[in-house]
Amino acid sequence: MTHYPGYLKTYPNMHAPFPFHLGLHRLTNGFRAHRHDFLEFSFVVEGSGSETIDGVNHPMVPGTFTFILPYQVHELFTDPGSTLVLYNCNFGMDLLYETGMSGGFGELFAGLDDLPAYARLQGDAMEEMRGRIEEMYRETMSTERWRDTLLKAKLVETLVRFDRYRHQAEAAPGTGGAASPVRPPRSKSSAWAAIHYIHNNYQEELSLTDLAKRFSFSASRMSEVIKEATGQTFVRFVHDLRLRQAASLLVSTDMSVTDIVHEVGFGSYKTFIRMFKEAKGIAPTDYRKNKRGRPTAVRDAFPQGKESQL
């Protein structure tokens, strides 16, 4: 029986109008193997350790920038006697789709067989990246006008810079980039392409047969690919995405439940209500009242560590 590591389903501010969280963490005992359906980057500023992504390990030292895609299983290890200090950022895929850039960020997700998941920055490149992320971190504390717009712009720049660094490292090994690239198994690339498509089209009517044809799989193989990558069946995976978006809209907008049902792609109001109650243990209207009636709890994405400002 396949074992699936921990599945983290939430992060601070996940249901806010701007689904983004950036924290600074101190890890003395690493962090357990896990996966999630949102995007994540980390940047090491002190200490040493390592990280395993889909079974392949790479060092974590000052200047290491790692970009984690949804459903990639990853685990952090701290070297004995060291404290691994790193920025960790969680954000929703919608932030990239809303940038208005031609073609979106497909190139960040394409070619997974050919590009490493991390880059080790050194010298000026490391200092520039650290300064950029520290500025983002300060901006998260701000209440100034255009805060979210500025954070989104900085997020885009950060990811673009990372992508340039890893391409440069591939072109000229040993010049400060990734020394031993993390390359996912080849099947992961096909799985990600399908998952990326589902994330971008879950509001539409989706079927396993149509998805399989689009990516040149048999329906049975497409089902296996989705299950291997996410730990969920195709139907459960799509329903889960729709329910998460519905929960976000309930908290962050005044849309009626009926409008939300159609917005997230559920064809049946009754089915949505039943599945929402099963998932959340409460009716959608009560969920909205409860979430709006108390401050949003900010949970540390790394409970084994201690978030602090250096």
Question: Rounded to an integer, what is the distance from CA 85 to the centroid of its chain?
Answer: 20
**Contact between residue 169 and residue 176 where contact means Cβ atoms under 8 Å apart:** yes
pLDDT tens profile 251-268: 888 899 999 999 999 989
Residues 24, 307, 231: CA angle, nearest 5 degrees: 80
**Mean pLDDT estimate for the chain:** 82
Q: How many Cβ atoms from other residues are within 10 Å of residue 258's Cβ?
A: 10
- Of 123, 108, 10, the C-alpha closest to 62 is 123
**Model confidence, pTM:** 0.73
CA-CA distance, 238 to 242, in Å (whole number)?
6
Residue whose structure tokens are 């005044």:
254
Sign, Cα dihedral of 161, 16, 287, 257: negative
Pick the more confident residue, 172 or 25: 25
pLDDT tens profile 100-151: 443 455 556 655 456 788 999 999 999 999 999 999 999 999 999 999 999 9
Q: Which two tokens stand for residue 284?
A: 């959608």
The backbone torsions φ and ψ at residue 82, rounded to the nearest 5 degrees and listed phi first, read: -110, 160
